[in-house]
Amino acid sequence: MALSTRFTDLFGVEHPIVCGGMTRVGTPELIAAVANAGALGFMPAHNSPTPEDLVKDIARVRDLTDQPFGVNFTILPARQPPPWEEYMRATVESGVQAIETAGQNPEPYLPLFKEAGVKVLHKCTSVRHSLKAERIGVDAVSIDGFEAAGHPGEDDVPGLVLIPALADKIGIPFIASGGFADGRGLAAALALGAQGISMGTRFMCTVEAPIHENVKNQIVANDERSTNLIFRQLRNTGRYAKNGVTDEIVRILNEGGTFEDVAHLASGEKGAVVLQTGDLEAGVWCAGQTQGLISDIPTVADVVTRIVAEAESALDRVAALRR
């Protein structure tokens, strides 16, 4: 069975489920597993050290699947930014037909994608930013609610309000992100006006996810309270798994500390150590409030199949309430 929406039609996938771009997690093997399950996975370009490596990683995905997949570009301020245009040209020249953009305004890069017929999904954290993305010409939007891991924005609006608020105003397809890990969530998102969902934490906790079993087991053990919002005082909020490191970052900033006081604790290199070695106190690592909904470590195929079946059952239950 499949749930057909404007999003699935636009991107040519079977199910309205997305695996968003996840640093160090979205490897070719995971993205191919998502594609083979009928969902749409985005492999982060910055996981590949060079544009040439990205071409090889795209080829690796193609070796593992003949289904659609995409590449993610999370463009954030940096002292020495990657050569994004080179990465983008490498992606387009490799024939990838779906791009996920996040961070900075993607408008400067849209002509390159449009000329190649590439569909662009832009991640936003508010209705106003989503409408701007529509105006500049993206094909679809992914809107992050306050429940999301990573950077949920500064408005603190949860999906139950954010999704219908956007549905009332936007004309292009959009999917909902943040707070989704099962079929009840997919059914709710569709009922609220979205055309699909994007998940990160749920896909982290799968057999194919390239992270240490300790991390997966901790996600299962955690509940919906097991996250910290760090960098709130700097208006660069990030939702990460609760551990001693994120507790310390929150404490230091609450006491008037600066970014420089916590930069060594929040380094990406230390976060990589967590994912690679399973030392849960080695650094910060992303996880959303959906930890409270995750109780097992299945294959990607099982996750997608289960979510679609649960969503169909949930929609049937609601329909049966009609007199």
- What are the Cα distances from residue 160, in Å, to 17, 19, 322? 18, 21, 22
Domain extents for the chain? 6-210+296-320, 227-286
Nearest to 32 by CA among 210, 283, 275: 210
Report d(CA 316, CA 318) in Å as an integer: 5
Reading the block at residue 101, the tokens are 């953009």
Report d(CA 41, CA 22) in Å as an integer: 10
Above 70 in pLDDT, residue 302? yes
Please give the DSSP secondary-structure letter assigned to residue 233.
Answer: G
Contact indicator for 307, 183 with CB cutoff of 8 Å: yes
Q: Can you point out the beta strands (E) in the chain?
A: 17-19, 40-44, 70-75, 98-103, 119-124, 140-144, 174-177, 197-199, 227-230, 238-241
Nearest to 71 by CA among 107, 37, 95: 95
Nearest to 190 by CA among 161, 165, 167, 156: 167
What is the pLDDT at residue 269? 93
Indicate the CATH number of 6-210+296-320 among 3.40.50.2000, 3.20.20.70, 2.40.50.220, 3.50.50.60: 3.20.20.70
pLDDT by residue (tens digit) across 118-157? 999 999 999 999 999 999 999 999 999 999 999 999 999 9
pLDDT by residue (tens digit) across 165-186? 999 999 999 999 999 999 999 9
pLDDT > 90 fraction of the chain, expressed in percent and rounded? 96
pLDDT by residue (tens digit) across 27-68? 999 999 999 999 999 999 999 999 999 999 999 999 999 999
Reading the block at residue 290, the tokens are 């959906």
pLDDT > 70 fraction of the chain, expressed in percent and rounded? 100
Report d(CA 194, CA 172) in Å as an integer: 10
What is the pLDDT at residue 97? 97
CB atoms within 10 A of CB 109: 18
Residue 18 β-bridge partners: 40, 198
Above 70 in pLDDT, residue 1? no
pLDDT by residue (tens digit) across 82-119? 999 999 999 999 999 999 999 999 999 999 999 999 99
Could you tell me how many helices (H) and strands (E) the chain has, helices first?
A: 14, 10
Above 90 in pLDDT, residue 2? no
Q: What is the mean pLDDT of the chain?
A: 96
Reading the block at residue 218, the tokens are 């901790």
Q: Is 285 exposed, middle or buried (0-12, 13-18, 19+ CB in 10 A)?
A: buried
